[in-house]
Amino acid sequence: MSDNTFGNIFRVTTWGESHGEAIGVVVDGCPTELELSEADVQHELDRRKPGVSELTTERKEEDEVKILSGVFDGKTLGTPISMLVWNKDVDSSPYERIKNVARPGQADFTYQMKYGIRDYRGGGRASGRETAARVAAGAIAKKILAMHDIQILGHVVEIGGIIAKEVGIEELKTNVDKNAVRCADLEAAGKMEALIKQVKAAGDSVGGIVEVIALDVPTGLGEPVFDKLDAELANALMSIGAVKGVEIGAGFAAARMKGSEMNDEFIIKEGRISTRTNNAGGILGGISTGAPVVCRIAVKPTASISKPQRSVDMAKMEEVELEIEGRHDPCICPRIVPVAEAMVALVLVDCWMRLITTRLH
């Protein structure tokens, strides 16, 4: 299986399966002398880990990170940074019974057809657990970006048709980690929580929309042709399991706007060229404008539902009725927030490193 590596200069390789011994990541291309501790990474992993509220899977993983290499005396060496998280709370028994059955909405069918072998326990390599490794790498990327004052904020803006009202950046920062759904509109958050509990009780699941905003991104990140910043972001965000759509700025609404409504007029603000609006989502011609980079992702309802479903036993080649046991998130959106932030951070740090090789002044 190829393609477990992401990035050009800041390169990240994730490894591991959901119910294997451990999962981890190797980060290559990190500059030297960055102060880095396990606590820096742990903080981000704690935001993603399962079992922290009744809205997430009951799988209880401490997700304690161990840095195995690349750091000496609390600073990065420039050598590959290897990080490991043990899989401890593993219960593979519910997967034995259905190991040959293709769970609807999951990667079982395609992995089986493509590779002829797969670790069927807990979704194996296709599991959302792989994203813990991305979050660990993203923590390093975020640290580098923070040194350049770039901040990345993710939040849930819609769940099951309940739409959050827009809030200012300060309110977003204060509110987002105050509630289990990670929505900055606290009234909408309450309704979203109630809906998730309701669908969970009915053995079902629900999807939604997560927004990631990168603030204080300098002008010039992104390459002009195939590696446009928006193309890189779309690739990064679509690579997260359960993501079915990506929008940048006005996104799909741009298709319904006139040029006069869509164009962001240039102005001079505090002595710098800026724009009046930000329908472009901070990107023009694949290159960052200096305005906030705004991305939204559509997250599908969790595939693993306990309601009976029709499927096929791929070994016996017969249709079966499937009831999925095991522990699953009734809505993935809250846990995708730190994952999406990590992927945006990985893209921006890589673009940053490419930018400094572009011109002398």
How many residues in the shown chain lie near ligand FMN by CB under 6 A?
Answer: 21
- 359 phi, psi to nearest 5 deg: -145, 155
Cβ proximity of 64 and 85 under 8 Å? yes
Binders of ligand FMN among residues 56 to 95 (CB under 6 A) are 57
- Asked if residues 355 and 144 have their Cβ atoms less than 8 Å apart, the reply is no
To which H or E segment does residue 200 belong? Answer: helix 186-201
The Cα-based distances of 331 to 46, 50, 179 in angstroms read 18, 12, 14
With CB under 6 A as the contact rule, the residue among 36, 83, 84, 126 that binds ligand FMN is 126
Residue 241 makes contact with ligand FMN by CB under 6 A: yes
Which window, 38-46, 120-128, 138-146, 246-254, contacts ligand FMN (CB under 6 A)?
120-128
- Choose, by CB under 6 A, the member of 14, 82, 127, 288 that binds ligand FMN: 127
Q: How far is the CB of 306 from ligand FMN (least distance, A)?
A: 11
Q: Count of residues for the chain?
A: 361
Residue 67 contacts residue 38 (beta carbons within 8 Å)? yes
Instruction: Output helix, strand, coil percentages for the chain, rounded to the nearest 5.
Output: 35, 25, 45
Smallest distance from the beta carbon of 94 to ligand FMN, in angstroms? 12
Report CA-CA distances (Å) from 215 to 16, 131, 169, 219, 263. Answer: 33, 23, 10, 12, 21
Candidate list 242, 246, 297, 348; residue touching ligand FMN; CB under 6 A = 242
199: contact with ligand FMN by CB under 6 A:
no
For ligand FMN, the nearest residue by Cβ is 128
Per-residue x/- track, 17-36, ligand FMN (CB under 6 A):
--------------------
| Per-residue binder mask for ligand FMN (CB under 6 A), 296-335, x = binder | ----x-xxx-----------------------xx--x--x
Q: Which residues contact 349 (CB under 8 A, 6 or more apart)?
A: 10, 141, 144, 145
Binding residues vs ligand FMN (CB under 6 A): 57, 106-107, 123, 126-128, 131, 240-242, 300, 302-304, 328-329, 332, 335-336, 339
